[in-house]
Amino acid sequence: MIEGEVNNFIMVWMVATATFCYSHAVGKLVTNGGKARLVALFPAIVLLFLLPLRLTSAHLGPPSTFLLGWLSTFKLLLFAFHKGPLSSNPPLSLPYFLILASLPITFQHLKDPNPQTIPDPHNNKTHQIYRLGLMAILSACFFPLYGEKQDSFYPVFTLLLISLHMYVSMELVFGLASVAVSKLLHIKLDPHFDKPYLSTSLQDFWGRRWNIMVNRVLHPTVYDPVVRVSSHVVGRKWAPLPAVMATFAVSGLMHELVFYSFKREKPNTLERWEPSWDSLCFFLIHGACLTMEIGVKKKLGGRWRVPKAVSLPLTVAFVVSTGLWLFVPALARCGAFVKGKRESVAVVDYVRTLALT
C-alpha cells in the first residue's frame, strides 16, 4: 500500500514535470498569448487537473490536488494569455519556470526573470529556523489528540484544535518550501501568510494576510475578468462587487475539490462525489460580507473608520466563528485528520519493519 502510493506520487510528479517542460516550450514557440497558445496548453491543463486522481493518501493526494489541480492549472491558464507569474519579458529560464509552475511561491520584486546573482536576503535565518522548528513540534503534538482522546473533548474545542492544527501545518509546509527554494536559488520570495490574526477587516484578511499566493492567482484569473465584464453593466465603481463574489465562489469550488481528494480511496477512479457544500457556503458568506464591506467603504468614501481596537477582534471573531461553523466541520467530515493519523502510524510501522529485517 505504502510503496504503491509512493510510486504513484513519483510518477505523478515526473509526468507533471514533463508537462511543465512542454508548457515552457509552448511559450517559446507561441510567443504571443491568446487562443493559439491556449489551444496548445489545453492538453497540459487537463492532464495536470487529472493527475492527482492517481493518489489517495491524505498526505499526498490533497496537496497534489491543491498544487497541480488548482494552482498549476490556473497559472497555465494565465500563461496562455501571457499573464501571471509564469510570464515575463524576457521569458523565464526552464528551472525557474518549473519552480514557479509547481510550487505555491512567487518571486518578490523580481526585475530579472533569471536572477542567478541576486543575493540571499534572509537576514534573520536563525529566527526563521526556530519558528519552523516550533511549527513542526506543534504540528506533531496535535496528532496524539485525535481519535479516541478527542471524543472526551467538547465539540467546539475539537473544532478549534483542528483549526489550529490546519494553520500550523500550512505555515510549516509553505515555510519549508520557501526556505528550500530561497536557499537553492538565493532569491527572496513573497510570504504566504502575513500575521492573519492581526487583520482589521475582511478585506485586510483575504486581500493582504491570508494565503497570499492563492489570492495572487485568483485575482488575475477570476477577479480581473469579471471586473472588466461588470464595468459595462454596473460601472467601474461598483464592478469589484460581483468580481469579489465570483472569486470567492471559484475558491469555494476548488476547496470542495481538495476535500474530495481526502475522501478518495481508489486510485484512477472518479468515485461518487457527495459534497456537503459547507466549504462553498463558507466562502460565499465571506464573499457576501466582503462585498458589503467594500460597498459601505465606497459609499462612505473614507469619511469614517472603525477603530482598530474594535475592528481587529470583530474580524478575528467572525473568521474563527464562521470557520468553526462551516469550514472545519467539512474538513473533519472528510476524515482528513483521522486518515492522516492512520497513515502516519502505518508509515512508522513500515519503517520499523524495514529496520528489523
Q: Tens digit of pLDDT for each residue in 88-126?
A: 888 889 988 998 999 887 766 444 445 444 444 444 555
Long-range contact set of residues 130-138: C-beta below 8 Å, sequence gap at least 24? 131/175, 132/172, 132/175, 132/176, 132/179, 135/168, 135/171, 135/172, 135/175, 136/172, 138/168
- Which is more confidently placed, 304 or 146? 304
Residue ending a domain, among 154, 185, 216, is 185
Report if pTM > 0.95. Answer: no
Same structural domain, 13 and 162: no
Same structural domain, 220 and 343: yes
Same structural domain, 349 and 205: yes
What pLDDT shows up at residue 116?
47
Domain of 212 in residue numbering reads as 199-356
| pLDDT averaged over every residue in the chain | 81
Asked if the structure places residue 44 within a domain, the reply is yes
Asked if the structure places residue 92 within a domain, the reply is yes
Same structural domain, 251 and 333: yes
Mean pLDDT of 39-57: 93
pLDDT digits (tens, 9 = 90+) for 164-184: 766 777 777 777 777 777 777
User: Please, which pLDDT band fits residue 273 given cuts at 50, 70 and 90?
Assistant: low
Same structural domain, 289 and 335: yes
Task: Identify the helix (H) or strand (E) that includes residue 333.
Answer: helix 328-333
Tell me how far apart the alpha carbons of residues 8 and 2 are, in angstroms, rounded to a whole number: 10
Same structural domain, 350 and 219: yes
Same structural domain, 139 and 42: no
Asked if the structure places residue 114 within a domain, the reply is no
Same structural domain, 279 and 219: yes
Same structural domain, 17 and 68: yes
Same structural domain, 203 and 351: yes
Q: Which residues pair with 189 in a beta bridge?
A: 107
Asked if the structure places residue 191 within a domain, the reply is no
Same structural domain, 148 and 87: no
What pLDDT shows up at residue 134?
67
Tell me how far apart the alpha carbons of residues 220 and 242 are, in angstroms, rounded to a whole number: 15
Mean pLDDT of 70-89: 92
C-alpha cell at 96: 525557474
Asked if the structure places residue 232 within a domain, the reply is yes
Number of domains in the chain: 3
Q: Which residues pair with 107 in a beta bridge?
A: 189
Tell me how far apart the alpha carbons of residues 241 and 245 are, in angstroms, rounded to a whole number: 7
User: Please, which pLDDT band fits residue 155 given cuts at 50, 70 and 90?
Assistant: low
Mean pLDDT of 246-268: 86
Tell me how far apart the alpha carbons of residues 31 and 90 are, in angstroms, rounded to a whole number: 11
Tell me how far apart the alpha carbons of residues 329 and 143 are, in angstroms, rounded to a whole number: 17
Same structural domain, 214 and 164: no
